[in-house]
Amino acid sequence: MKRHILLATMLLAGMSAFAQTGYMKDIEVSGREVRRVGDEVRVTMRFDLSDVKMKRQHTTQLVPVLVSKDGRNELELPSVVVNGRIRNRAIRRQEALTGKPVYEHVQTTVRRKNGEAQTVSYEATAPFARWMYDSRLEVREAVTGCADCGEGGETSTLDPLVLARFVPDYRLTLQEPVPEPVKRRDEVRSARLQYRQDSYTTDPKFKDNARELADVQASIDAVKDNKDLTITGIYVTGYASPEGTVAYNLKLSERRAKTFTDYVKKQNTGIPASLWHVDWKGEDWEGLREEVQKHPRLLKIDEVLAIIDGCDGDRDACEEQLKALVPPQIYERLLNEMYGPLRRNEYRIEYNVRNFNLEEARQLLRKSPKLLSLNEMYQVAGSYGKGTAEYNEAMDIAARTYPENPVALGNAAVTKLEQNEVRAAIALLEGKQLDASAKNTLGVAYAKAGEYAKAKALLEASTNEGNTDARTNLEQLLKVMEQL
């Protein structure tokens, strides 16, 4: 008769009997390993029976069982059957007579030789299931005596976390920024002066021009009066709105740029004439598109934008198309609300910045971070010690000051990941032009966020660009994805 003795059945015989009869307390289990191999889970261990004194008419069946963390799932593995001397003989005789095994689902059967050293090597495999992660391994014992009577058993939990999930160890490296032998900076501003009709004279007494020109002078003074800065060039570019002909507006933007530059030069005689540069662009259709988009409730805005986007040739004809839009209030709004900001002079003040020592850089970090190079910022951060609030703040300031620099962004993102601020790291890098190192960092951030497809694509791209950290991280990621 086939029998598969389960401890759950034996428990019905009474817990007091189990405590008296079980042999588990004398069995030493070693070499235990539970691991996933492809689509299977493999369990190996050794049972040392050397201290077991088996009653001659007893059988103990040792059943390894994987039990899920929440206890809702379990899997019995093939058992080890250990027989006493008389019991072993009886089982062999019964199996010879019936031609069938007494116990099913058995990995191995041994006869216990009391007083002798004796070990049993165990290995079993079973199909893998996700619930097995963080499961525990138990060995359940069922003891029977003569006439197959149940006499006891025990349960031994060998390890509460026998199949832990793979925990990746991603590599992230801070990059060294490219040194700046000369720190070149610039300030870009717009001067929107008011002009009398058909005039290009810069008149500080006309409308709000005095305030506008004062702002221009303040911008120049901020650089000129700073002993840490040296002006290397002032570049003025004139623009016009589309009303009138293209030729007329080109000439108008030229004259207004020149008269504006001449006026400002007279207020700044200490700046060499060679540093002043003037250019003009005429009608600013790109600027017009930006202004229209700021007015989403403009009637027929899609038609207006289509005319602007299709204006690659005759811009005078494009202007006529805008005028012809119905109702005429559309063009009136363009003329009165959106053309004005296009009539301007843009000016760029270029200057060099001297290098600063550590204490000076600390003072400037929050007040004027643009004057610091990345190297100087990182020296400040390092002086506070990695992981400190001041260090983290310095890395954030560097990223805000240089929002298009892959090194600044990547290093700030690494710092965020070290603080477990995964979404903040992604926000720093997502949608930016990244080098291989920053791609690796964003890939790791996506991996930590569980966005594995994005992580894999970025780590592969970074690996193809020669980043060794990304190659290692990709291997780690693939192991994580195997667990899904």
- At residue 306, what is the residue type? A
Q: Which residues contact 125 (CB under 8 A, 6 or more apart)?
A: 37, 40, 41, 42, 43
Distance CA 484, CA 477 (A): 11
What is the third-level CATH fold of 364-482?
Answer: 1.25.40
CB contact at 8 A, 43 and 64: yes
Identify the CA nearest to 122 among candidates 134, 110, 112, 131. Answer: 110
How much is the pLDDT for 150?
A: 66
Fold of 183-351: 60s Ribosomal Protein L30; Chain: A; (3.30.1330)
Listed by start position, the domains of the chain span: 7-159, 183-351, 364-482
Question: pLDDT at position 15, please?
Answer: 39
> What's the rounded Cα separation, in Å, for the pair 322 and 242?
10
- Per DSSP, 327 falls in state S
Return the residue matching tokens 């190297």.
375
Q: Residue 359: what pLDDT?
A: 97
Q: Is 98 left (phi over 0), alpha (psi -120 to 50) or beta?
A: alpha
Cis-peptide, bond into residue 406, ω within 30° of zero? no
Specify the pLDDT at position 195.
84
Among residues 337, 235, 256, 240, which one has the least CA distance to residue 296? 337
Q: Do 183-351 and 7-159 have the same topology in CATH? A: no
Long-range contact pairs involving 330-335 (C-beta distance under 8 Å, separation at least 24): 330/298, 330/299, 330/300, 330/304, 333/295, 333/298, 333/299, 334/288, 334/292, 334/304, 335/243
Which pLDDT score is estimated for 199? 82
Mention every residue, 6+ apart, whose C-beta is less than 8 A from residue 411. 174, 175, 378, 395, 398, 399
Element (H, E) at 280: strand 276-283
Contact of 378 with 386, CB cutoff 8 Å: no
What pLDDT, on a 0 to 100 scale, did the predictor assign at position 161? Answer: 62
Model confidence, pTM: 0.71
Q: How far is CA 248 from CA 190, 221, 337, 434, 450, in A?
A: 22, 34, 21, 44, 59
Closest to 364 (Cα-Cα) out of 185, 217, 175, 174 = 185
How does pLDDT run along the chain (484 residues), one tens digit per residue? 344 444 444 433 443 444 447 899 999 999 999 988 888 999 999 999 999 999 999 999 999 999 998 999 999 999 999 999 999 999 999 999 999 998 899 999 999 999 999 999 999 999 999 899 888 899 999 999 876 666 677 777 776 667 778 889 999 999 999 999 999 999 999 999 988 867 899 999 999 999 999 999 999 999 999 999 999 999 999 999 999 999 999 999 999 999 999 999 999 999 999 999 999 999 999 999 999 999 999 999 999 999 999 998 899 999 999 999 999 999 999 999 999 999 999 999 999 999 999 999 999 999 999 999 999 999 999 999 999 999 999 999 999 999 999 999 999 999 999 999 999 999 999 999 999 999 999 999 999 999 999 999 999 999 999 999 999 999 999 999 988 7
Domain 7-159 has CATH 2.60.40: yes
CA distances from 465 to 20, 44, 250, 357, 436 (A): 67, 42, 46, 36, 6
Q: Compute the C-alpha angle 391/393/395, nearest 5°.
A: 75
Q: Which residues contact 291 (CB under 8 A, 6 or more apart)?
A: 338, 339, 341, 342
